[in-house]
Amino acid sequence: MFDQSMGRRSRQANKVPQLNLNSMMDMLSIILVFLLANISADEKDFVLAADLTLPLSTSKLGFIKAVQVKLTTKELMVEDQFVAKVSGDKIVGTRIEGKKIVQLYNMLQRYRSFSKEAAKDIVILQADREFPFELLDKVLRTAAMAGYPNFRLAIQKE
Amino acid sequence: MAFRRSPDAEEINLIPLMNLFVTMIPLLLMSAAFYHLGMVSTSVPTVSEGESDAPTGKTSVSANVRITLKGYNLTTSSATLTPEELKAFDAFIPKKDGKYDHAALTGALERIKRKYEQSDTMMLIPEKGIKYKEMILAMDAARKMVLSSGAQTRKVNLFPVVVITTLVQ
């Protein structure tokens, strides 16, 4: 009797414990579904500039392909090409004639001549939400002078 | 001697599926968007040749929303209405507790839209010092209105065409 009980215990001790994978599979499936739901094909092509916080909006408008102007707290760029420095609420280091930022104007005109985008007269503007209107106005007017009077203002959906 | 199957149910081998999931999760994590980006459509006034694209036939009204440091100043303009008729829609919407009253702006624009439903253009005139985020919030307030008929509600366009402009001083 004593020997039989000892033998059973010994067999149980030698048995390799099996991991229960079912709960792990459940967890992984939930994570997978969550991640798949958060993938947006449109947003994949959109590269958000560093050093800016986009304004919040309820707009549901989707992305289009167009030339991007980025007005960050440090610099003004067209796509990823440097145009001018931004210091505080001012654009510095480039000639400004009235409301025309000359360097931006020249660069946008160059883009316009090369661009094969369907939306040829549209600029996507990424700008920091704390910027005052005067600063944005200069960028918007310059783009309009260069042949881009229509804009898509990049926002963060609420 | 006949072979007898074990009465225990056979377990599915989940390891390959686990491997697939574990590979997919980092891949998806890299391309997942944890905050969603969108766009707001707008334009600036330009000189163009040819005829106006303003709707003809039914009367339409343009809403001019001036964002001042004290609140919204709403005026209207139209090619067909008299200044007296337009004056009825004029409104000053002051800030409430230091914040712009977006709901009141939507309400004021709704009154115009209900009377002249062809209207869809808003001229946004921010004053010096107005922040970009305030401009976006004003555009949001002017984009949609809620129509309710019985228990059903639906959102319809209010003034979705926004033109950003400045006052000539």
Residue A143, min C-alpha distance to chain B (Å): 10
- Looking at the predicted structure, is the pLDDT value of residue A33 above 80? yes
- Using DSSP bridges, classify how beta strands A150-157 and A56-57 pair: parallel, antiparallel or unpaired: parallel
From the list A8, A28, A25, the residue with the least C-alpha distance to B11 is: A25
Q: What does the pLDDT look like over B85-94, one tens digit per residue?
A: 889 999 999 9
- Asked if the Cβ–Cβ distance from A39 to B31 is below 8 Å, we say yes
- Asked if the Cβ–Cβ distance from A61 to B39 is below 8 Å, we say yes
Give the DSSP per-residue string, A54-68.
PPEE---B-----EE
Contacts of A40 in chain B (CB under 8 A): 33, 36
From the list A151, A50, A126, A58, the residue with the least C-alpha distance to B136 is: A58
Contact indicator for B108, B146 with CB cutoff of 8 Å: no
Contact indicator for A55, A156 with CB cutoff of 8 Å: yes
Average pLDDT over residues A19-33: 84
Per-residue pLDDT of chain B (169 residues; tens, 9 = 90+): 555 555 566 777 888 888 888 888 888 888 776 778 889 999 998 776 666 555 556 788 999 999 999 999 999 998 888 888 889 999 999 999 999 999 999 999 999 999 988 899 999 999 999 999 999 999 999 998 888 777 888 888 999 999 999 876 5
Write down the pLDDT at residue A7.
59
Share of chain A above pLDDT 90, in %: 45
Beta bridge partners, B155, equal B146
- Asked if the Cβ–Cβ distance from B41 to A21 is below 8 Å, we say no
Instruction: Give the ipTM.
Output: 0.78
Cβ neighbours around B66 below 10 Å, total: 19
Q: Alpha-carbon torsion A73, A77, A81, A85, what sign?
A: negative
Number of H helices, E strands in chain A: 5, 9
Write down the pLDDT at residue A3.
56
Task: Establish, for the pair of chains A and B, how many residue pairs have beta carbons separated by less than 8 Å.
Answer: 143
At B140, the amino acid letter reads D
Q: What is the DSSP letter of A121?
A: T
Phi, psi of B69 (to 5 degrees): -70, -15
Q: What is the dihedral of CA B52, B55, B60, B61, to 10 degrees?
A: -30
Average pLDDT over residues A55-83: 91
Contact indicator for A23, B17 with CB cutoff of 8 Å: no
Contacts of B15 in chain A (CB under 8 A): 21
Residue A1, min C-alpha distance to chain B (Å): 28
**Helix B102-115 to helix B132-141 angle, to the nearest 10 degrees?**
40
Write down the pLDDT at residue A102.
94
User: What token pair was written down for B35?
Assistant: 């905050």
Contact indicator for B162, A150 with CB cutoff of 8 Å: no
Option in A35, A54, A61 nearest B32 (CB): A35
- Looking at the predicted structure, is the pLDDT value of residue A132 above 60? yes
Of A65 and B130, the structure prediction assigns the larger pLDDT to: B130
- Asked if the Cβ–Cβ distance from A38 to B44 is below 8 Å, we say no
Option in A28, A60, A136 nearest B132 (CB): A136
Write down the pLDDT at residue B56.
59
Q: A76 pLDDT band (50/70/90 cuts)?
A: very high
For tokens 């709960």, what's the residue?
A23
User: How far does CA B154 lie from the centroid of its chain?
Assistant: 15
Contacts of B37 in chain A (CB under 8 A): 43, 46, 48, 54, 63, 154-157
> Could you tell me how many residues make up chain B?
169
Write down the pLDDT at residue A24.
83
Alpha carbon distance A153, A126 (integer Å): 6
Q: What does the pLDDT look like over B126-142, one tens digit per residue?
A: 999 999 999 999 999 99
Residue A61, min C-alpha distance to chain B (Å): 5
Contacts of A132 in chain B (CB under 8 A): 128-132
Contacts of B29 in chain A (CB under 8 A): 35
Nearest-by-CA chain B residue for A146: B46
Of A10 and A107, the structure prediction assigns the larger pLDDT to: A107
